[in-house]
Amino acid sequence: MNRDGHVVSVIIPTLGRPTLASCREALEQQTRLPDEIIVVKDEERRGAAWARNEGIRRSRGDLLAFTDDDCVPPKDWLERLIGAVDRFDAAGAGGMFTEADPLLQDIRHRRERRQGWIADGAEQIDEVSLVGSGGNVLYRRIWLKACEDQDGYVFNESFRISQDWELAWRLRRGGARLIFVPTRVAHLRHLSSLAFLHLRFTRGIGIAMLFKVQRAARTAITIHKSLLWEEHGALTKANWLRALWIKVVGPFDVGSFASVRNYWLFWLGEKFQAVGFLWGLMRHRGLIARPAAAGRAPVRPMGPPSFSIVLETENLANIPVEALSRCLEAITQQGLSPQQANEVLLIETGDVPAEQLERLRMAYPWLLIHRAGPEERYYEAKMEGFRHTTGQVVVFCDSDCRYGADWLRSIVEPFVADADMHVVAGETAVAVTGPYSLAMALIWSFAPFSRRTAPYRSSHYAANNVAFRRDVLLRCPIPCRLPMYRGNGAIHERMLRRMGYQIWKQPAAREIHPLPTKGPSQFFWRWLLSGHDQLVSEQFSGDGTAGRARIACWGRGVVALLKILSLGSWKPLRRLRAALGEDPRRVIFLPVAACMILATTLIALAGFVVACIRPGRVVLLGVERLRDGNVQAPGQENAGV
């Protein structure tokens, strides 16, 4: 402990930028050295709020200072902030920045002159929202702990930007005294023109989120001075006409900039910020936590978490593109709008003509199309889509399925209700309209809809109707490069169980799956590969690697054989009772359906024998044949196709 009697922890969130070394070097040369430097690398891109919260959890100091990996604090930075906190008996203290980028420095000087910031004056109690930027601030741990007890969090992780200002506002609203210290941290970032415009757009989103939070709180304490907030704590009254005039037509102060280029780039950036603000108002409905009033129980973020949706076209090899249109139309009509998703990604593997993709892009502007190689199979396309998402929850669905009106909300909201929900699967069924559909309903992967009303535990999921927390797929990704057709999901289920993740079924998230292709060749190869995958999947251990003990492999093979034989006995009988309970007239389809069930069992047995002799070889030929038509392996519990 230093002479000031404090233990000081400095927390740095980072994405691994090379400027981190300069930041650490500056901290090691402080006149008051930090007691610990905690660097939190956000490898999973969870956001600065998560990284700062993680740093708080790891730290031990009673004073917590925050800076960024592209910031270089002056030598007396910690000494001045600590001194201000002690002299004023304050909850925190913070200062300003000097920008290395000429345009950003012009903008900062312009804002300081217009809003009356003191560049080199004395320390003062912050009454006009100067303190809060996460690159130059220090807080007492006791105040952050009180904030967490009150609201349920320190930095609000539903904010991807401006979460530092939202925290400072909650602290001041709770009675905290913050001190403005005129010490400048050097900001090393340099932005291209496009990067600057993107920054202004995201800044607009952050302002919208802050504006909505304050309006919901109905408080006279403003987050910071803005066109939409009155000065000096007056009750918020948005001056929309003034803001519209300045953002759309102005600004006009060319003299505030060192060059005409900088002025026009800033002028254009103001338009991008205005668009970002409007986008934030529309997109983030229900995603922002309403801060708790003093004395009330902690408030958790309301509404669904941020989420992304992934579809793929691998199922459309021989299905009319209208199936994809019907799927997208069903998603459009959801109670939880797809426009609230971080992304709706369609992974295109060459199965849809370019002109039809263009029509879909025009009809559904929220749809993002990502082109992948035609060699990518079903699960590879799913994981390719996952790697391009940013949501806290990732929802997998298929391009040839029809989803219920409240499917999306039903599969996303359980993650809010229970923090222990890591994998939520919906229920998938086949519409029975004749002998063939009855046969598939009895033996295919998809059981009839249950009559349950609440989520229940399960050991299986269908990849066409499932949602994962992002960290689950990062720690336990679906294995893709395996010598099988669609058994990857069954292996993934065992991996999840081994790592302690429970799969939950949400009966309200319902989906109708189309029938497999009726062509004899497609029928044959589909079920042959199903039997093949039953054996191969049993020979893989719970971590997704192949087992080596020959006796153990053949023991698992016996288990696979029993599963195949059960296609013609126990499982169809249970499902038949449910199907006839829904409509007793379906009994007339039973004789033909029984013949089809017998045929599928024999073909699956043949696939089992082939896997015993030449495992993996039949997959290459079978996939090639099935790529000529709609692909699916119906014998797997989660071949969600």
CATH number where 500 lies:
3.90.550.10
Question: For residue 432, what pLDDT band results from cuts at 50, 70 and 90?
Answer: confident
Task: Look at residues 347, 353, 417, 359 and name the one whose alpha carbon lies nearest to residue 384.
Answer: 347
Half-sphere exposure of 384 (CA within 13 A, CB side): 22
Name the least confident of 49-53, 478-482, 599-603, 623-627. Answer: 623-627
Both 271 and 323 in a single domain? no
Both 233 and 272 in a single domain? yes
Check pLDDT > 80 for residue 638: no
Q: What is the pLDDT of residue 310?
A: 94
Q: Name the one residue in this structure whose structure tokens are 């592209």.
A: 70
Check pLDDT > 90 for residue 83: yes
Q: How many other C-beta atoms can be found within 10 angstroms of the C-beta atom of residue 500?
A: 8
Check pLDDT > 80 for residue 341: yes
Tell whether 392 is covered by a domain: yes
Q: What is the pLDDT of residue 365?
A: 87
Both 232 and 311 in a single domain? no
Q: Quick one: how far is CA 177 from the chain centroid? A: 35
Q: What is the pLDDT of residue 192?
A: 92
Q: Quick one: how far is CA 106 from the chain centroid? A: 35
Both 277 and 311 in a single domain? no
Using CB atoms within 10 Å of the CB of residue 612, give its burial: 0 to 12 exposed, 13 to 18 middle, 19+ buried.
middle
**Rounded mean pLDDT of 371-384?**
81
Check pLDDT > 80 for residue 414: yes
Of the residues 249, 283, 317, the one at which a domain ends: 283
Spatial separation of the C-alpha atoms in residues 603 and 588, rounded to whole Å: 25
Both 244 and 351 in a single domain? no
- List helix spans (H) across 364-421: 378-386, 407-412, 414-417
Both 334 and 268 in a single domain? no
596: left (phi over 0), alpha (psi -120 to 50) or beta: alpha
Both 275 and 354 in a single domain? no
Check pLDDT > 70 for residue 523: no
Name the least confident of 136-145, 206-215, 518-527. Answer: 518-527
Q: What is the pLDDT of residue 563?
A: 55
**Average pLDDT, rounded, for the chain:** 79
Q: What is the pLDDT of residue 614?
A: 65
Tell whether 289 is covered by a domain: no
Using CB atoms within 10 Å of the CB of residue 600, give its burial: 0 to 12 exposed, 13 to 18 middle, 19+ buried.
buried
Check pLDDT > 60 for residue 300: no
164-217: pLDDT as tens digits:
999 998 898 888 889 999 899 999 999 999 999 998 988 888 888 887 777 776
Name the least confident of 54-58, 167-171, 250-254, 568-572. Answer: 568-572
User: In this structure, what are the phi and psi dihedrals at residue 478, rounded to the nearest 5 degrees?
Assistant: -70, 125
Task: Look at residues 438, 548, 422 and name the one whose alpha carbon lies nearest to residue 475.
Answer: 422
Q: What percent of the chain has pLDDT over 70?
A: 76
Check pLDDT > 60 for residue 562: no
Q: What is the pLDDT of residue 235?
A: 40
Residue scoring higher pLDDT (630 or 402): 402
Tell whether 634 is covered by a domain: no
Check pLDDT > 50 for residue 639: no
Both 390 and 269 in a single domain? no
Question: For residue 144, what pLDDT band results from cuts at 50, 70 and 90?
Answer: very high
Question: For residue 298, what pLDDT band results from cuts at 50, 70 and 90?
Answer: very low
Both 254 and 388 in a single domain? no
Both 266 and 329 in a single domain? no
Tell whether 118 is covered by a domain: yes
Both 343 and 258 in a single domain? no
Cβ burial 229-242 (10 Å sphere, 16+ → b, else e): beeeeeebeeeeee
48-59: pLDDT as tens digits:
999 999 999 999
Residue scoring higher pLDDT (143 or 601): 143
Check pLDDT > 50 for residue 631: no
Q: Name the one residue in this structure whose structure tokens are 């923090």.
A: 419
Spatial separation of the C-alpha atoms in residues 319 and 315, rounded to whole Å: 8
Residue scoring higher pLDDT (230 or 415): 415
Long-range own/partner contacts, residues 109-116 (CB < 8 A, 24 or more apart): 109/256, 110/253, 110/256, 110/257, 113/256, 115/225
Spatial separation of the C-alpha atoms in residues 588 and 585, rounded to whole Å: 6
Check pLDDT > 60 for residue 331: yes
**Rounded mean pLDDT of 597-609?**
77
Tell whether 14 is covered by a domain: yes
Question: For residue 615, what pLDDT band results from cuts at 50, 70 and 90?
Answer: low
Check pLDDT > 70 for residue 19: yes
- Determine the Cα angle at 614 with ends 613 and 616, to 5°: 140
Tell whether 142 is covered by a domain: yes
Q: What is the pLDDT of residue 539?
A: 61
Number of domain units in the chain: 2
Check pLDDT > 50 for residue 234: no
Tell whether 3 is covered by a domain: no
Check pLDDT > 50 for residue 364: yes
Question: For residue 353, what pLDDT band results from cuts at 50, 70 and 90?
Answer: confident
Tell whether 31 is covered by a domain: yes
Task: Look at residues 225, 201, 347, 220 and name the one whose alpha carbon lies nearest to residue 279.
Answer: 201
Element (H, E) at 371: strand 367-371
Check pLDDT > 70 for residue 231: no
User: In this structure, what are the phi and psi dihedrals at residue 310, rounded to the nearest 5 degrees?
Assistant: -125, 125
Q: What percent of the chain has pLDDT over 90?
A: 25
**Rounded mean pLDDT of 415-429?**
85
**Rounded mean pLDDT of 313-318?**
67
Residue 641 CB partners (closer than 8 Å, separation 6+): 314, 315, 378, 398, 400, 463, 464, 486, 631, 632, 633
First to last CA, the chain: 61
Structural domain including 95 reads 8-283
Both 353 and 276 in a single domain? no
Spatial separation of the C-alpha atoms in residues 252 and 274, rounded to whole Å: 16
Q: What is the pLDDT of residue 455?
A: 87
Check pLDDT > 80 for residue 292: no
- The one-character DSSP state at 221 is -
Half-sphere exposure of 140 (CA within 13 A, CB side): 19
Partners of 96 in beta bridges: 184
